[in-house]
Amino acid sequence: MTIRAQLMRVYLDEGDRFGDRPAYVALVERLRDAGVGGASVFKGIEGFGSRRTVHTARVFDLSTNLPVVIEVIESAEKIDAILPIVREIVAEGLVTLEGLELLRIGSGASA
């Protein structure tokens, strides 16, 4: 059985901060506290954004400000409810939303 859901991707830089912590750490913690079922953080090895500055993990580069993507799959209603948290923590970034069908497999599939 499939369930209608939404995928939210938040694109930011590894060096982005929220207070004294990395923004991606603060965001994942706040999403957990808000009852989100799960969130994953992926660090890119190279990329650029609106400022056109290339960030890379090549050995000869010293950049530690790599691209980061946070993914959350939830109901559209839950995504709408957590968007204010994203706006609070992410000072500059990009958020994409995609509709999808979710198929749970394995243990807990009936939950």
On the question of pLDDT at 66 being above 70, the answer is yes
pLDDT band (50, 70, 90) for residue 55 = low
What's the pLDDT tens digit per position in 17-53?
A: 999 999 999 999 999 999 999 999 998 777 666 666 6
What's the pLDDT tens digit per position in 1-19?
A: 788 999 999 999 889 999 9
Which domains, from first to last, does the chain contain? 2-103 (3.30.70.120)
The pTM of this model reads 0.82
Residue 44 to residue 56: CA distance in whole angstroms: 8
Crossing angle for the helix pair 23-33 and 76-89, nearest 10 degrees? 140
Tell me the two tokens of residue 110: 């009936």
